[in-house]
Amino acid sequence: MKVAIYSRVIDFDQQGDVQQLFDELARNNIQSVIYYPFFETIRSSFAKTDSVQVFHHSDELDESIDFVISLGGDGTILDTVTLVRNKNIPVLGINFGRLGFLAGIGRKELHTAVRALVNSTYVIDKRSLIHLDSSKTLFNGMPFGLNEFAIHKTDTSPMVKIHTYLNGEFLNTYWADGVIVATPTGSTGYSLSCGGPVVFPESSSFVITPVAPHNLNVRAIVVPDTNIISFEVEGRSDHFICALDSRKEIVEKKIQLAVRRESFTISLVRLNENNFLQTLREKLSWGLDTRN
């Protein structure tokens, strides 16, 4: 078995857990290749790094890689998606961050996680992505995201008017700071914090959620992900912000934008004991009542 390991950066007090992961992989005869920028930040702190294999970019993740292990929080998982792309390599997220909604395996479960890979006692969740079509190439040729696409006004500009269409038919004009189109996976993220509903991961849908709308009667709406959602943006500023997950670009308001479901999915590895409802209860305190 061969795994690729990706991370942004690891805090000093987390280095012992990273070393434990390397030891567990070696103990189970699992070959690993490490993302080079991450390796450069840790090589002086870890033993036996002389013979470590590294990779630099997505093209080096070929069919020999069985899993990608993401060390960090949910933002690191989103970065990992841009590396895996359409290669269908399952991603195992180990939470070194704060919330860990997507990276649902804790640092104390490293041994259990590695044994699950060895014994195939895990579950693969297929997660849909959102794809951006635009009249100008954006996001370095990676116009897809796991969580959401968003349109925002620039920091100092007044609110914008976002005319929104489903398959060419007018839906609504949002007078707001922005609009979010979230996947089911992203429904528990930014969209949720703006008042959007929680949608189960297997739901074939998008959630359209306005950001700070200037209308009391405008709320989030759930639409089938078979729709193509297009936008026209008006505002006093000549530019606005487009965001895909944690990536953003400033674009001119005359640009043409539309989103649809991506043609490929991302595979997330979870342990058998974990499921979506359990994660909702543990991470977001779903249904928590202190009276009980």
Q: Looking at the annotation, which residues are catalytic?
A: 74
> Where are any strands of DSSP class E within the chain?
2-7, 31-35, 53-55, 67-72, 91-95, 105-106, 122-134, 144-145, 148-153, 160-166, 169-176, 178-182, 205-211, 221-224, 229-234, 239-244, 247-252, 257-271
Lookup result for tokens 């914090």:
193
217's CB contacts (< 8 A; 6+ apart) are: none
Beta-bridge mates of residue 126: 267
Q: How far apart (Å, rounded) are the C-alpha atoms in residues 243 and 254?
A: 17
HSE value, Cβ hemisphere, 13 Å, CA-based, for 205? 16
> What is the SS3 assignment for 10?
coil
164 neighbors 173 (Cβ within 8 angstroms)? yes
